[in-house]
Amino acid sequence: MQAIKRKAPNILITGTPGVGKSTLCTKLAEVTGLEWIEISKVAKDNNCLEEFDAVYNCPVLDEDKLLDGLEETMSHGGNIVDYHSSEFFPERWFDIVFVLRTDNTTLYDRLIARGYTGKKLEDNVDCEIFQTILEEAKNSYKHEIVHELNSTSPENMESNVQSICSWLQNWFSQNTQ
């Protein structure tokens, strides 16, 4: 589906929990002035969380309510959306999708440091091993707008910020007179 014309693009940053989405988005928002939309936080602040999932020790997202609440903001453009899933967003919302990746050992260490244990830890590491989030993004958006970025080291983060800024400049030069 063709993205509608916006004054600025919408970017989706996705990837397994712990891969570095918040860290990258904080930096990107600072450098680009785009709005960072942290879906987990928006969902919590707008009562879009339903019953508790006892297995994963996390609440279940009311997707329809969340999407309705974000529609207007997204239609204006200029947003960086950060979430560990991508399939339930309308495809037309995004001009580009970045999937952050790291190696299993790095991810394991980051999740341990975050206090993840048991099934939650295991499932998230498996999610990265099996490229679940990358596959989900490729199944939900045109392949040419889905890009994988290595998010293992601080140097990776710097180069990811630079790549995204270059893409952004290019978008503005092609989409504004």
Can you give the binding site for ligand DAT, defined by CB under 6 A? 15, 17-23, 110, 151-154, 156-157
- Which lies closer to ligand DAT via its Cβ, residue 3 or residue 161? 161
Q: How far is the CB of 124 from ligand DAT (least distance, A)?
A: 9
Torsion angles phi and psi, residue 141, rounded to 5: -135, 160
- Nearest-CB residue for ligand DAT: 20
**HSE value, Cβ hemisphere, 13 Å, CA-based, for 172:** 9
Q: How far is the CB of 79 from ligand DAT (least distance, A)?
A: 16
N- to C-terminal Cα distance for the chain? 24
Q: How far is the CB of 82 from ligand DAT (least distance, A)?
A: 7
- Which lies closer to ligand DAT via its Cβ, residue 123 or residue 171? 123
Spatial separation of the C-alpha atoms in residues 99 and 84, rounded to whole Å: 9
Using a 10 angstrom Cβ sphere, with 0-12 exposed, 13-18 middle and 19 or more buried, the burial of residue 45 is: exposed
- Which lies closer to ligand DAT via its Cβ, residue 1 or residue 118? 118
- Which lies closer to ligand DAT via its Cβ, residue 21 or residue 34? 21
Q: How far is the CB of 15 from ligand DAT (least distance, A)?
A: 6
Spatial separation of the C-alpha atoms in residues 40 and 158, rounded to whole Å: 25
- Which lies closer to ligand DAT via its Cβ, residue 18 or residue 77? 18
Q: How far is the CB of 23 from ligand DAT (least distance, A)?
A: 3
Spatial separation of the C-alpha atoms in residues 64 and 88, rounded to whole Å: 9
Contact 21, 37 (CB under 8 A): no
Tokens 């679940």 appear where? 132
Q: Is the alpha carbon torsion for 153, 158, 137, 85 positive or negative?
A: positive
